[in-house]
Amino acid sequence: MIRRLLALFSQRYGVLAVCFCVGLLAGCAVTNQPIVTSAFEESEIPRTTRLDMPVAPKTPLSINVVVFDYDVPERLLTPIREAESGYMAVTLSNILQDSGQWAGVYVLPIANEYSEVQISARILHSDASLLHLQVEVHDATERVWIDREYRARIDDEAYGTDALPESEVFAHLYHQIANDVGALQRSLEPSDRQDIKQVSMMRFAETLAPDAFSGYLTTSELRIDDTLRTVYQLEGLPALDDPVFRQVQEILLREQAIVELINTQYLRFHQDLLSVYPYWRRYLYELSGTANERRRESGNWAATESVYRQYEEARLNEDRLRVLTKSFRDESRSTSAELEGTVVELSGSLAQQYVRWRELLSLRFIEDRGALKLNSYP
């Protein structure tokens, strides 16, 4: 009900509605109610939207961006969407990093259950002039921060001669997401952020040793629209010198190592794509009717050739995107990681490697815990 009112309000009053939402959310946070926002407003993000860079909270949270999801299109475009899904996730991650609001920003191949804050997005539409995303942000307690669509359209100016070729033409959309999620973090009390961090840690601990740590968390069902969500609450914390808990913390550090490694691979992929993807998008835009209206009067061979060159460049860049996506897939199929002085070879997609690494850590944890028990009973 409240959300519908918010939606109605936001449709009518735009920016004011966002302020109202944030204010209300701040209140919610204080009263330990679910932090939920779902703007139904689907108006396009204004091109003038800039990245807010206010003073960061004292103990900021970490945020993970999951590689964007997409509907599998025709086979022809699959490599392009695959490239976009990584490219867009890293673009958002870079902007979140630039906002200076977060303790850490990482790109993950798949969602994990213990991220302090996690952004998932689905590409609903992507072409040279329109980007439309469905974005969901939630924290480790599973409370939804954002669940809405973001849509941005661009005009000739974005691809004009003044614009840097590699600049992100949909920057305003990413800025809006970063601003929204940043504002929600700032609306939290320090104790709420602390709760989220602790729930994150305990959820990680619970996956490793449910018998030892499940009692520290309770769950409750929360109805959001017609969907029931399980929300986690912290009931207590293990003693700081609990040896098993200390092991969990060590395992978490090792897990973080692979997250950073994977993140680096995505950053490299993004760096490679920067020399192709923006150009591909630009040539597609040039070919589209919007930009062409201005040149319609030409009608000479130069105009014909110019159109062909745009088409040729778009297709050549599409070929390069296919090559880059394939080479990223091939090159990232094997990773060497060190685990307790042993080099472990991980293979498969980054998602598979990540899952495998977590399995290995889990096994190692069980072995260590067994040793710990044995040592406890000499």
Partner 1 sequence: MHAGAFNQALFRMTHLIRFSGCVLMVTLSVTGCLNSGPPPVEHHPRVVDFSGSWEVDFGRSDDPRQQLLLLFDRMAERVSLQADRRSRYEIRQMQEDLSGIFQLAEEMTRSTAINIDQSRGYVEVRRNENFALVCDFSSRETSRRLIGPGVEYCGFDETGQLVFVVRLREGLTVTNRFVMAHDRSRISMITSLDHSRLPYPVTLRRMFMPYEEGESAWKCEFTLAKKTTCWFRSDDPEVAVEEAG
Tell me the Ramachandran region of residue 354: left when phi exceeds 0, alpha when psi lies from -120 to 50, beta otherwise.
alpha
The sign of the torsion formed by the CA atoms of 193, 194, 197, 198 equals negative
Minimum distance from residue 87 beta carbon to partner 1 (Å): 15
Q: What does the block give as tokens for 265?
A: 């691979």
What residues between 238 and 277 interact with partner 1 by CB under 8 A? Answer: 272, 275-276
Minimum distance from residue 189 beta carbon to partner 1 (Å): 48
CB neighbour class for 40 (10 Å; exposed up to 12, middle 13-18, buried from 19): middle
Closer CB to partner 1, 305 or 340, in the complex: 305
Closer CB to partner 1, 249 or 304, in the complex: 304
- Residue count at the site for partner 1 (CB under 8 A)? 33
Residue 350, CA atoms < 13 Å, CB-side half-sphere:
23
Q: Does 359 engage in binding with partner 1 (CB under 8 A)? A: no
Q: What does the block give as tokens for 171?
A: 């920057």
Task: Please provide the DSSP assignment of 218-235 as one string.
Answer: EEEEEEETTEEEEEEEE-
Q: Does 351 engage in binding with partner 1 (CB under 8 A)? A: no
Kindly report the backbone phi and psi dihedral angles of residue 64, in degrees, each rounded to the nearest multiple of 5, phi listed first. Answer: -110, 140
Q: Which stretch binds partner 1 (CB under 8 A): 19-27, 70-78, 152-160, 221-229?
A: 70-78
Closer CB to partner 1, 108 or 276, in the complex: 276
Q: Which residue has the tokens 């070729």?
A: 165
Minimum distance from residue 134 beta carbon to partner 1 (Å): 23
Q: What is the DSSP letter of 152?
A: E
What residues between 195 and 234 interact with partner 1 by CB under 8 A? Answer: none
How many residues can be counted in the chain?
378
Interatomic CA distance for residues 310 and 22, integer angstroms: 45
Interatomic CA distance for residues 37 and 222, integer angstroms: 14
Q: Which residue has the tokens 């029931």?
A: 228
Compose the 96-135 pattern: x for residues touching partner 1 by CB under 8 A, - for all others: ----------------------------------------
Closer CB to partner 1, 221 or 330, in the complex: 330
Closer CB to partner 1, 57 or 79, in the complex: 79
Interatomic CA distance for residues 184 and 178, integer angstroms: 10
Closer CB to partner 1, 123 or 314, in the complex: 314
Minimum distance from residue 350 beta carbon to partner 1 (Å): 21
What residues between 300 and 329 interact with partner 1 by CB under 8 A? Answer: 300-301, 303-308, 311-312, 314-316, 318-320, 322-324
Q: Does 289 engage in binding with partner 1 (CB under 8 A)? A: yes
CB 346 within 8 A of CB 334: yes
What residues between 72 and 101 interact with partner 1 by CB under 8 A? Answer: 74-76
- The gap from C-alpha 291 to its chain's centroid, in whole angstroms, comes to 32
> Where along the sequence are the contacts to partner 1 (CB under 8 A)?
74-76, 272, 275-276, 284, 287-290, 292, 298-301, 303-308, 311-312, 314-316, 318-320, 322-324
